[in-house]
């Protein structure tokens, strides 16, 4: 056994090594000697005293040897310079004897001795001995010192991430037991010779209770949350502070903040050793983002961080402050995406430690998931039991009767596919998108921000994004008068279906399947509704929790979302058109990333984009859209149905009750929204329109039913006007939105036909004979014989297709890449919407019985002159 004199000599050497002098030792040695004398007498039967092992701000640690077990233990006693340090050790004993965790030191015995010069008992306790202990900062410094090449950086950051996960789990354990540590810092994390980390020094730890009377709490100023250090200016890591605070007001976020600053300090060490390499290391970038999110939204600005770092450089001090911003994210952005609990921090670190972290909770994301449903020629969709439960529910099965392209099969007979298969296809794409984003090798934003719950919500949202669809939905939404707009919106109906009381064969509602953890999802329906938002006038940018929410929404609805990627390819194949083949699906998905940018109001936006290597693949989507709008979606015969339906809805009893039933109630009853879901067809939708229509409206419905569509009289092509003038097609588009425009144009065309017949002498072709033209003139006396149409090409124009540079490309790191500005696709901005403008032709249609006579008498030129005369009236 080491003698007391030898033990005191080792303590003296420890103090000199720590302080560079014996000033502190000379003050404290007498009380320490007296205490050790009494403690050794109490413990001599069980332990041998070996050597001084360590010293912190509050306590002294002596290595012991368990005589029976032959294991090393540690004796901790308070430093005697202040009475509060004695209280701190008492407090630590209290906590360690009740809290048992693999990464918290265990206490084996505790006691007190009496020191004559002190007014209170002097506590001590025996705990686990951390062999060859170093604190986390020293352990990291040793690894950095041994690192001879940049190639070793990845191993060091991965080692650090593993240690931090261990620390976070220990702190999570404390929080679960209502305990706030109060003094998380590198010096209070010990690492043993086997690289196992221990959270130590619970001397300041306190229970969070409902007590409102203030008690004294302590912390180290440098790592303390701004709420705690309010009123203090010193930032020394040695500056311990005590102040009164009510237990009812304790916050676990204070520990999260302290661990965040700890991580930033450790990253600063690594940055100093590898100044030109850290921003290329994924783990370093990940930890930096995580630490910034742990600061409770109280991050220092870039300017303030740099000021402190410059001051430390000027004083030749170690840089203890790493940047508290990440890329262009500002403090207000971190208030939005901050880590809200130590459990969340643990999850984020586990994602980093285990790249397959998500697969246990979301097996659908595994490329090797065994159960699949073949929904397209490309990759099949995962078909897990919980996905099967949703797909086989009656509210989803009803989509089997909803044709994806409405009446397009009258022009393209192969277009018989349904919203049912498209929705499963969009879900399949969503699985591929999420896999790609989670394995983004450069940008950790999505992997870190998206929780397992978020991923499940997006998967369900992709499957249910068209849940509210019904036959002719897009046509009716487009042409409905203002009083009926909301009624026909499929997005509104999606929200209603999610609340439906309809049950499946197992008597489960969709809400039950989604919200019941036993069914596999464990989601709130409100979260899915939030992704599938429905607003008549959506506002951008989103506020509040908008950063992550906007990102998740962009997966479902954006320039290259999972919905478009399915319907463009599927519609193209089913229409036997080649345009969808231009999309390089594999390269697009492989290039996906999160783009961080600013909007016109300087607000931060997170949105789905691609790396530059995927630019051609992403822009191919825009070309496919243009070509399909031109050839399929806006085909003149298919578009003819819209003005016909607009005329049906313009008149009739749609805003009045028919008997005791309103159209709103009858329409929702038809769909079964408030009862049993029904598989509705085009015919049943036409039937309810016919029921509430006028006689003229019923005639139009009958024509649509029999595929006897209105015929083109005139096509108005888009062309650019010089000098900033509004193009004529735009003037036509503005005019045809007025309810009176079609009637006025019909009057003008009738007058021109009448004038032509009166002015042309002699015999006329049979098509212009009196017995043929008189019925035409009579028809033109009836409403709705001339109709106009012009699609709006600017839908979604607020969106931008964005690209990001890979960090290693052109030797640019994250910071320089972002400061240079994210690239916006010029094809999207300057070409795509111009192409849609070209595809968005203005058209004048007429009743099929009068077209031949009108064309023979007036021709396209005469119809155009009539249009040019009426259009200015409504502009």
Instruction: Read off the pLDDT of residues 171-197 as tens digits, 9 standing for 90 and up.
Output: 999 999 999 999 999 988 989 888 889
Say whether pLDDT at 306 is over 80: no
Q: Is residue 539 over pLDDT 50?
A: no
Q: How many degrees, rounded to 5, is the angle at CA 14 between CA 8 and CA 18? A: 145
The answer on pLDDT for 543 being more than 50 is no
Lowest-pLDDT range of 102-106, 150-154, 360-364, 451-455: 102-106
Residue 20 sits at the vertex; the CA angle it makes with 18 and 22, to the nearest 5 degrees, is 90
Mean pLDDT over 249-271 rounds to 95
What are the CA-CA distances from residue 167 to residues 185, 199, 263, 677, 698 (Å)? 10, 6, 11, 52, 73
Q: What is the mean pLDDT of residues 601-610?
A: 88
Per-residue model confidence as pLDDT tens digits over 340-353: 999 999 999 999 98
Residue-range domains of the chain with CATH: 4-129 (3.30.200.20), 136-353 (1.10.510.10), 710-792+840-874 (no CATH)
Kindly report, residue by residue over 307-334, the tens digit of the pLDDT.
Answer: 877 777 777 665 556 788 888 888 889 9
Contact 734, 873 (CB under 8 A): no
pLDDT score recorded for residue 237: 45
Q: Rounded to whole angstroms, how far apart are CA atoms 120 and 83?
A: 8
> Taking residues 545-560, what's their average pLDDT?
90
In the predicted structure, residue 536 carries a pLDDT above the cut 50: no
Quick check: 198 pLDDT over 80?
yes
Place of tokens 């409206």: 697
Look at residue 204 in the predicted model and tell me its pLDDT.
80
Residue labelled with tokens 């030109």: 276
Token couple for 543: 């506020």
Q: Are 520 and 453 in contact (CB under 8 A)?
A: no
What pLDDT does 206 receive?
86
More confident site: 229 or 320: 229
What burial letters (b/e) apply to 421-457, b meaning 16+ CB within 10 Å? bbbbbbbbbbbbbbbbbbebebbbbbbbbbbeebbbb
Q: Which residues pair with 220 in a beta bridge?
A: 240
With H, G, I as helix, E, B as strand and everything else as coil, classify residue 383. coil
For the chain, percent of residues with pLDDT exceeding 90: 60
Question: What is the H or E stretch that residue 638 is in?
Answer: helix 636-639
- Average pLDDT of 735-744? 93
Range in 295-309, 501-515, 663-677, 715-729 with the lowest mean pLDDT: 715-729
pLDDT above 50 (res 8):
yes
C-alpha span between 347 and 290 (Å, rounded): 11
Q: How confident is the model at residue 544 (pLDDT cuts 50, 70, 90)?
A: very low
Answer whether 64's CB lies under 8 Å from 47's CB: yes
**DSSP string computed for 683-700:** HHHHHHHHHHS-HHHHHH
DSSP state of 582: G
Q: b/e map of 174-183 (b: 16 or more CB within 10 Å)?
A: bbeeebbbbb
H helices then E strands: how many in the chain?
A: 37, 23
Q: Summarize the confidence of residues 376-391 as an average pLDDT.
A: 89
With pLDDT > 70 as the criterion, what percentage of the chain qualifies?
91
Residues 750-775 have a mean pLDDT of: 86
Residue 433: the pLDDT is 97
**Least trusted range by pLDDT, from 304-313, 487-496, 599-608, 811-820:** 811-820
- The tens digit of pLDDT for each residue in 95-112 reads 667 778 888 877 788 888
Of 56 and 82, which is predicted with more confidence?
56
Is residue 545 scored above 90 in pLDDT?
no
pLDDT tens for each residue of 784-809: 999 999 998 865 555 788 888 877 65
**In Å, how far are 224, 327, 598, 815 from 821, measured between CA atoms?**
35, 11, 9, 10
Residues 129-159: pLDDT tens digits?
A: 887 778 999 999 999 999 888 889 999 999 9
Q: How confident is the model at residue 207 (pLDDT cuts 50, 70, 90)?
A: confident
What residues have CB less than 8 Å from 847, skipping those under 6 apart? 710, 711, 779, 785
Q: What is the mean pLDDT of the chain?
A: 88
- The pair of structure tokens assigned to 101 is 């965790």
Whether the pLDDT of residue 582 is over 50: the answer is yes
Task: Determine contact, residues 453/523, Cβ cutoff 8 Å.
Answer: yes
Q: Can you tell me the mean pLDDT for 692-721?
A: 90
Q: How confident is the model at residue 233 (pLDDT cuts 50, 70, 90)?
A: low
Task: Fill in the DSSP letter of residue 722.
Answer: G
Calpha distance 854→749 (Å, rounded): 8
State the Cα–Cα distance between residues 203 and 478, nearest whole angstrom: 68
494: tokens are 């999606």
The pTM for the full model equals: 0.88
């Amino acid at each position: 056994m080491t003698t007391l004199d030898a033990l005191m000599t080792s303590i003296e050497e420890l103090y000199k090594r720590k302080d560079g002098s014996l000033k502190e030792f000379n003050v404290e040695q007498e009380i320490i000697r007296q205490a050790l004398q009494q403690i050794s007498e109490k413990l001599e039967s069980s332990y041998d005293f070996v050597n001084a092992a360590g010293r912190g701000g509050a306590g002294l640690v002596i290595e012991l040897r368990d005589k029976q077990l032959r294991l090393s233990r540690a004796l901790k006693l308070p430093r005697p310079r202040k009475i509060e340090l004695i209280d701190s050790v008492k407090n630590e004993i209290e906590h360690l004897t009740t809290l048992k965790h693999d990464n918290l030191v265990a206490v084996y015995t505790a006691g007190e001795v009496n020191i004559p010069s002190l007014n209170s008992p002097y506590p001590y306790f025996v705990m686990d001995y951390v062999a060859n202990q170093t604190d986390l900062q020293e352990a990291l410094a040793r690894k950095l010192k041994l690192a001879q090449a940049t190639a070793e950086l990845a191993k060091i950051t991965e080692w650090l991430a593993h240690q931090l996960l261990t620390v976070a789990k220990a702190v999570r354990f404390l929080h679960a037991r209502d305990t706030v540590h109060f003094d998380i810092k590198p010096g209070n994390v010990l690492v043993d010779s086997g690289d196992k980390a221990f959270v130590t020094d619970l001397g300041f730890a306190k229970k969070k209770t409902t007590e409102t009377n203030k008690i004294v709490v302590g912390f180290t100023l440098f790592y303390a949350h701004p709420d705690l250090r309010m009123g203090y200016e010193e930032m020394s890591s040695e500056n311990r502070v005590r102040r009164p605070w009510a237990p009812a007001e304790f916050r676990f976020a204070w520990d999260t903040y302290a661990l965040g600053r700890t991580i930033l300090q450790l990253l600063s060490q690594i940055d100093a050793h590898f100044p030109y390499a850290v921003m290329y290391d994924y783990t370093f970038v990940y930890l930096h983002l995580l630490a910034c999110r742990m600061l409770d939204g109280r991050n220092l600005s870039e300017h303030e961080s740099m000021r402190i770092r410059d001051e430390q450089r000027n004083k030749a001090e170690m840089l203890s402050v790493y940047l508290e911003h990440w890329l262009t994210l500002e403090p207000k952005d971190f208030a939005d995406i901050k880590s809200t609990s130590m459990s969340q921090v643990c999850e984020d670190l586990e994602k980093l430690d285990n790249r397959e972290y998500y697969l246990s909770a979301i097996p659908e994301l595994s490329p090797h998931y065994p159960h699949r449903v073949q929904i397209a020629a490309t990759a099949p969709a995962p078909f897990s039991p919980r996905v099967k439960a949703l797909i086989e529910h009656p509210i989803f099965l009803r989509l089997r009767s909803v044709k994806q392209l409405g009446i397009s099969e009258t022009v393209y007979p192969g277009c018989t596919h349904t919203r049912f298969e498209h929705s499963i296809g969009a879900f399949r794409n969503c699985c591929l998108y999420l896999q790609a984003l989670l394995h983004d090798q450069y940008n950790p934003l999505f992997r870190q921000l998206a929780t397992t719950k978020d991923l499940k919500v997006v998967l369900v949202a992709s499957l249910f994004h068209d849940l509210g669809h019904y036959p002719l939905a897009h046509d009716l939404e487009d042409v409905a008068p203002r009083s009926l707009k909301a009624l026909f919106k499929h997005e509104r109906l999606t929200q209603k279906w999610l609340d439906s009381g309809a049950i499946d064969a197992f008597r489960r509602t969709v809400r039950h399947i989604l919200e019941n953890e036993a069914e596999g999802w464990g989601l709130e329906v409100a979260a899915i509704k939030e992704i599938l938002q429905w607003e008549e006038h959506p506002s951008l940018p989103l506020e509040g929790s908008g950063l992550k929410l906007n990102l998740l929404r962009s997966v479902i609805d954006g320039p290259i979302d999972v919905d478009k990627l399915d319907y463009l390819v599927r519609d193209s194949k089913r229409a036997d058109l080649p345009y969808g083949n231009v999309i390089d699906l594999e390269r697009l998905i492989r290039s996906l990333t999160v783009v961080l940018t600013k909007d016109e109001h300087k607000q931060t936006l997170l949105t789905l984009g691609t790396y530059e290597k995927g630019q051609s693949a992403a822009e191919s989507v825009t070309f496919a859209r243009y070509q399909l709008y031109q050839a399929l979606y806006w085909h003149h015969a298919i578009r003819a149905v819209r003005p016909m339906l607009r005329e049906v809805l313009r008149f009739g009893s749609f805003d009045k009750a028919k008997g005791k039933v309103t159209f709103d109630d009858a329409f929702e009853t038809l769909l079964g929204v408030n009862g049993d879901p029904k598989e509705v067809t085009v015919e049943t939708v036409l039937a309810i329109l016919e029921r509430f229509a006028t006689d003229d409206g019923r005639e139009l419905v009958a024509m649509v039913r029999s595929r006897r569509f209105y015929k083109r009289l005139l096509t108005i092509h888009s062309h650019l006007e010089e000098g900033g003038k509004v193009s004529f097609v735009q003037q036509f588009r503005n005019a045809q939105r007025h309810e009176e425009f079609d009637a006025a144009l019909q009057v003008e065309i009738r007058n021109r036909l009448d004038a032509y017949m009166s002015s042309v002498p002699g015999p006329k072709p049979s098509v212009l004979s009196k017995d043929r033209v008189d019925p035409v003139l009579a028809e033109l006396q009836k409403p709705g014989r001339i109709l106009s149409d012009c699609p709006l090409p600017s839908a979604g124009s607020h969106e931008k297709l964005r690209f990001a540079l890979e960090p290693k490309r052109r030797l640019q790191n994250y910071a320089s890449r972002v400061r240079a500005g994210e690239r916006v696709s010029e094809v999207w901005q300057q070409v795509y919407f111009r192409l849609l403008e070209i595809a968005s032709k203005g058209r004048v249609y007429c009743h099929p019985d009068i077209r031949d006579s009108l064309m023979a008498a007036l021709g396209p030129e005469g119809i155009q002159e009539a249009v040019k005369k009426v259009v200015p009236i409504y502009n």
